[in-house]
Chains A and B, each alone.
Chain A
Amino acid sequence: MPDTPIRVMLVDDHEVVREGLKALLNRRDTMTVVGEAGTVAQAIEVAARERPDVVVMDLRLPDGTGIEACREIRSQMPDTKVIMLTSYADEDAVMASILGGAAAYLLKQTRGSQLAEAILGVARGESLLDPQVTMRVLEEVRKSASGKRAGSPESQLNENEQKILLLIAEGKTNREIAAEIYLSDKTVKNYVSNILSKLNMKRRSEAAAYIARRTPETNRG
């Protein structure tokens, strides 16, 4: 057991979830909730101020994704661990979360007591995947290990992501991309953030430059 309680921060735009988690976690001597946020911007601001040991992060936030917030917080405070706590088990979100530096990925049906154990675990440096998502992730890893390893970085991208990457390279905005492929702006934004994360890039201009370099007819070098 740590000498001082683990400092926990909760990021979720649903107050009913934050309140429930706070009440359960604060009952324990081993941890204390030191901050809360409901948006990506707030999460980054509160994390910088409170410097939590562990952040419990929702995936879907009004102004962006929890993955973006995770990446930003981890780049400023590499010792802070992030647990994604979300309604979604799709493999893209799981992979993007792991690549974004999350230490754990749990579904919103995890009991408060299990989440508390996960918080203690990641604080000790462990990683944790919800059993329901583990199978999907293993499948994804096996897929990328068999045959795709020698491929180009964009072979990590799924079909939609590859399509969107090419549209980014054409200089299209999220709104234009959304109109072209019949998805919402928000979904496109999530895709773009996953693409950048998978390609280990920070800005869409880097992705555009990468495609320009890779495509022979635009290769001026």
Chain B
Amino acid sequence: MKKVNNILIVGLGGQGVLLASDVISMAAFKSGYDIKKSEVHGMSQRGGSVTTHIRFGSKIYSPLIKRGKADFIVALKNSEIDRVKDFLSSDGKMIGVPEGFLDKLENKKTLNIAMIGILSKYLNISSKIWEKVIKETVPSKFQQLNLEAFEIGREAKF
């Protein structure tokens, strides 16, 4: 495990970028890491580009990731990749929506949680914590749907 994990989440307003970021940062928090997350509110509901920065590890100063230093970029919309790809470090991993992935989901609105499923394979955070945080974050009637989406992501070949 690296000392600091830098994760950038991108998508469009309404896709649940902020919720996905809440889940990841809360999971890191509950795993005992120092954590900083930065996002910008205001325009995020209106279909525009949304970016959040998540950094966790033993000690975090800046809430923003430096260009070229992101270990992971998770894109909920592949068309958003272009504008952030220079954030990715040389050995970083770009996680876009795999082809046909949306069709595997019962409800397309769970894409944000399914993408965390893919990301989770690379992070040192236990399944128990992921499950607990997802349950606490999403509305209760969508809990099962989201937990299933998470599993679909976790099992996806990527």
User: A and B bound?
Assistant: no
Q: Which residues of A contact B (CB under 8 A)?
A: none
Q: Which residues of B contact A (CB under 8 A)?
A: none
